Structure 1
Amino acid sequence: MASMAVGSCSALIGSTDASPNLKRYGGLRPLLGSKQMSMRTTPAGFVACQKSPKCGRIRAMTSPTVSAPKRETDPKKRIVITGQGLVSVFGSDIDTFYNKLLEGQSGISLIDRFDASAFSVRFGGQIRDFSSKGYIDGKNDRRLDDAWRYCLVAGRRALDDANLGKEVLDTMDKSRIGVLVGSGMGGLNAFTSGVESYVLKGYKKISPFFIPYSITNMGSALLAIDTGLMGPNYSISTACATANYCFYAAANHIRRGDADIMVAGGTEAAILPTGIGGFIACRALSQRNDEPERASRPWDKGRDGFVMGEGAGVLIMESLEHARKRGATIIAEYLGGAITCDAHHMTDPRSDGLGVSSCIEKSLQDARVSPEEVNYANCHATSTLAGDLAEVNAIKKVFKETSELKMNGTKSMIGHCLGAAGGIEAIATIKAINTGWLHPTINQDNLEPQVTIDTVPNVKKQHEVNVAISNSFGFGGHNSVVVFAPFKP
């Protein structure tokens, strides 16, 4: 059981499981700070970020002997990111969130949402002072499971960020805009409460919201109901790989012509007695109760399991053609992605890392980039014994030359947000692209010797991102990798 539990951490969680602020002006979001970034309007009528030569970033090094594949040129099939929204342990403002990451601040603390004193694990990345004001009316807010509250707020903030508020949406063909926000656990609190009501009081006392607020598709459904979006709408639930699966599927809907815009990402709220208790039973969680802020420590020899987090991360994915027509601000470009399965074990990763390495390779093929072009990886890196090293070994298998490659672990500061992890980490990846700063991987005191790639230990680093990958892996052997890059017209 003990050996299985170590692997379980790895799969779910780890194995196979100062930047200018963005501010709105005239419906767009120019980057302020002339010494670092400037804006230019292209002949096509959309705004692109242009780096100033004075920003002093480290330039990406691509081997001159390698001929990069030709990237997609069809504006109907090129996918750009035009908005971002999140709910996190550091709040819902994206610049504040990323600045906290750059500072290396831990968001992990003792749980006070419920009495955890009898639990062997008593800490997590619990969200406090969350407000849905302006996004959810009071009556619904009181009824909703937190997973769906986080989803609605992150989704609406992403739409606002993309200049797709209600007045703008009402002028558009909403049948061409879809929603694909998944969850690994669904409405866990709603489910738990329903079961408790049945056991204690009988079936007649079960809430009528028990079923609808428990099922995993309800985040996408509620967001569509709230905004009137009538395009492709469903959810994907692949444990901790969920959000990346959603990005991959959403991009393919746009490429096939099913939609012009997709609202995609992941949401999760499992810091509850059943959530914490369930993962304790799996022996997946760190038990560093005396110093919770130091418990999540990817690639460190002293790691002993992952730390539970929660939140939501949502992107607005849009065809380049459509973004041009409406004059959207383009934040970054989604180049491609891939999904694979280990087909090996319910919780353990493959020892040869084949599922993960093949997923990375397939994502690069879909993105039409060579391994030599990639110089940043936002890793799944959950702080589990087997998982952290399995991911590193897979990366080393794909990227033969890693001297210019940097990787970091966002979970070292916010914990593992399960189905929302890929969504929140995609935003961290895009912020790295936009700012030229990589956040640190904190709590690295004694690095595993076989980790020979720069993990940005403990202190942020300047790094001009050429092409970035973001990895997510989940129970069941579900692997997912997505590829982002700076937008170039």
Structure 2
Amino acid sequence: MRRVVITGIGAITPLGNSVKEFWDNIVAGKSSAAPITKFDASKYKTRFACEVKNFDGEKYFERKDLRKYDLFSQYAIAATEEAVQSAQIDFSTYSEEERADIGVIWGSGNGGISTFEEQVSLLYQGDGTKFSPFFVPKKIEDIAAGVISIRYQLYGPNYCPVSACASSNTAIINAFDTIRAGKAFMMIAGGSEAPITASSIGGFNAAQALSKRNDDPASASRPFDKDRDGFVLAEGAGALILEDYEHAIKRNAPIYGELIGTGQAADAFHLTGTPPDGRGAKLSMRKALNEAGINTGDVDYINAHATSTQLGDLSEAVAIEAMFGGSSKRPYISATKSMTGHLLGGAGAAEAIICILALKHGIVPPTINTKQLDEAISKDLNIVLGESVSADIKYALNNTFGFGGHTATTLFKKFEE
């Protein structure tokens, strides 16, 4: 099997519109939650979110073309541009035949939800026939993958996996499998969301999923805390360039890390809830370790899915304890959604970048806002609270779980020649 390395990374997040700004704020333990500015949320139970700040779509598109792209596609292009630049790639130097072996797999759980809202609103305000010609291509989840391939003229595998909040981790897994199978030598993978809209807030409120800590948004996301009351909705994108190791070495590419194992499974339990025994999470983590050929004692760091919901956090904690409880060395654990909020389908890619940089720099990010661990969560879990810690880490595991019981785990290794 081919080795797969990460040669480029890009991020648009509530903590910064570049990888450097994003990582610096993660390490510093900053919260991005604040009152919603994208619409009037005064009548909603939750009136705050983690919004991307100071994003300018005109940096990436002509003004006349912006109306063709929903914000989630704009975020996708922006993150991909940074990833391509950091990978030091000029796609124009590749022949058409070579670009047939470079593809894009890009995840999203909601696609153009704001576009959908706008058009449905106009539909009921008018005579029922007024639609934008861009309505469907702006709305559909797969369009970001298509837009990226069009921009760079990439003819390889191109599609969008939709597995709710596991979508971008699923995209990374699929890209990894594609390269390992010899069906491409380079893939752009990641995910994006722009879900801070009235229907998203209203829908998640109805599902009792969001925090209602309106008096103190910055501390609302508190994974594993006994007083956690739901997640904080977020937006943004994460992009990774995955590349065959031999090709990367041949072109003297920068290498940020190596992807060595992946796992996917299903809870087969509930539409939105997670099983008390964390069976799906255990399965996907076990499969990732098996594919990588390492043991539980080798894992140094886990970026937990941990969204700050009552059932979800507990289920994952039980799964981690069941998997790693017998190890002589306990992995560090951090729940970075305490800072970023929950990017839904974009979360896995953003957190993959955190794992990669944690390995590269030897820094484990913190879990902020968690004051007192839930008594039901094992005290033996090595959760990093409050501040980042320096550590020599070689293997990092990234968990993502989605409504419908989808679980996806990626396992990264510090790059070594």
Aligned to 2:400: 472
Note closer, same or farther for the CA distance 1:109–1:169 as it changes in structure 2 (3 Å cut).
Answer: farther
Aligned to 2:361: 435
Q: Which moved more, 1:124-133 or 1:453-462?
A: 124-133
CA contact (8 A) 2:168 2:345 kept: yes
Specify the code of the residue in structure 2 equivalent to 1:441.
Answer: T
> How far, CA to CA, are the matches of 1:202 and 1:151 in structure 2?
34
Specify the code of the residue in structure 2 equivalent to 1:89.
Answer: P
Deviation of residue 447 (structure 1)?
A: 1.3
Aligned to 2:16: 91
CA contact (8 A) 2:236 2:346 kept: yes
Aligned to 2:372: 446
Deviation of residue 168 (structure 1)?
A: 4.0
Match of 1:190 among 115, 132, 139: 115
Please say if 1:461 is aligned against 2:386.
no
How much identity, in percent, do the aligned residues show?
39
CA contact (8 A) 1:396 1:402 kept: no
Please say if 1:424 is aligned against 2:350.
yes
> How far, CA to CA, are the matches of 1:402 and 1:350 in structure 2?
27
Aligned to 1:295: 220
Please say if 1:137 is aligned against 2:75.
no
> How far, CA to CA, are the matches of 1:250 and 1:190 in structure 2?
28
CA contact (8 A) 2:58 2:66 kept: no
Deviation of residue 133 (structure 1)?
A: 4.0
> How far, CA to CA, are the matches of 2:243 and 2:122 in structure 1?
43
CA contact (8 A) 2:366 2:384 kept: yes
1:60-99 deviation digits (Å, cap 9, x = unpaired):
xxxxxxxxxxxxxx5xx10000000110012222111111
> How far, CA to CA, are the matches of 1:229 and 1:156 in structure 2?
14
> How far, CA to CA, are the matches of 1:406 and 1:470 in structure 2?
12
Match of 2:334 among 408, 417, 429: 408
> How far, CA to CA, are the matches of 1:488 and 1:210 in structure 2?
47
Match of 1:104 among 26, 29, 52: 29
Specify the code of the residue in structure 1 equivalent to 2:104.
Answer: V
CA contact (8 A) 1:403 1:453 kept: no
User: Matches of residues 49-64 of structure 1 in structure 2 within 5 Å?
Assistant: none
Aligned to 2:205: 280
Deviation of residue 171 (structure 1)?
A: 8.4
Please say if 1:376 is aligned against 2:304.
no
User: Matches of residues 299-378 of structure 1 in structure 2 within 5 Å?
Assistant: 299-378=224-303
User: Matches of residues 228-247 of structure 1 in structure 2 within 5 Å?
Assistant: 228-247=153-172
CA contact (8 A) 2:302 2:397 kept: yes
Note closer, same or farther for the CA distance 1:108–1:170 as it changes in structure 2 (3 Å cut).
Answer: farther
Q: Which moved more, 1:78-87 or 1:189-198?
A: 189-198
Deviation of residue 107 (structure 1)?
A: 0.6
User: Matches of residues 149-188 of structure 1 in structure 2 within 5 Å?
Assistant: 149-169=74-94, 173-188=98-113
> How far, CA to CA, are the matches of 1:88 and 1:81 in structure 2?
20
Deviation of residue 260 (structure 1)?
A: 0.5
Q: Which moved more, 1:424-433 or 1:344-353?
A: 344-353
Specify the code of the residue in structure 1 equivalent to 2:394.
Answer: N
Note closer, same or farther for the CA distance 1:229–1:454 as it changes in structure 2 (3 Å cut).
Answer: same
Aligned to 1:205: 130
> How far, CA to CA, are the matches of 2:184 and 2:373 in structure 1?
45
Specify the code of the residue in structure 2 equivalent to 1:445.
Answer: K
TM-score (norm 2): 0.97
Aligned to 1:261: 186
Deviation of residue 166 (structure 1)?
A: 4.6
Q: Secondary structure at the match of 1:473?
A: strand
> How far, CA to CA, are the matches of 2:15 and 2:23 in structure 1?
9
RMSD value, Cα: 1.4
CA contact (8 A) 1:402 1:453 kept: no
Q: Which moved more, 1:341-350 or 1:408-417?
A: 341-350
TM-score (norm 1): 0.83
> How far, CA to CA, are the matches of 1:435 and 1:230 in structure 2?
35
> How far, CA to CA, are the matches of 1:423 and 1:98 in structure 2?
13
Aligned to 2:411: 483
> How far, CA to CA, are the matches of 2:346 and 2:150 in structure 1?
21
Q: Secondary structure at the match of 1:299?
A: coil
Specify the code of the residue in structure 1 equivalent to 2:360.
Answer: N
Deviation of residue 403 (structure 1)?
A: 4.2
Q: Secondary structure at the match of 1:329?
A: coil
1:280-323 deviation digits (Å, cap 9, x = unpaired):
11110000000000000001111000000110001000010111
> How far, CA to CA, are the matches of 1:125 and 1:328 in structure 2?
34
> How far, CA to CA, are the matches of 2:358 and 2:97 in structure 1?
32
Q: Secondary structure at the match of 1:212?
A: helix
* Structure of greater relative contact order (alpha carbons < 8 Å, 6+ residues apart): 1
1:13-64 deviation digits (Å, cap 9, x = unpaired):
xxxxxxxxxxxxxxxxxxxxxxxxxxxxxxxxxxxxxxxxxxxxxxxxxxxx
Note closer, same or farther for the CA distance 1:402–1:152 as it changes in structure 2 (3 Å cut).
Answer: farther
Please say if 1:122 is aligned against 2:50.
no
Specify the code of the residue in structure 2 equivalent to 1:295.
Answer: A
Q: Secondary structure at the match of 1:284?
A: coil
CA contact (8 A) 1:175 1:229 kept: yes
Deviation of residue 132 (structure 1)?
A: 3.1
Deviation of residue 243 (structure 1)?
A: 0.8
> How far, CA to CA, are the matches of 2:359 and 2:408 in structure 1?
20
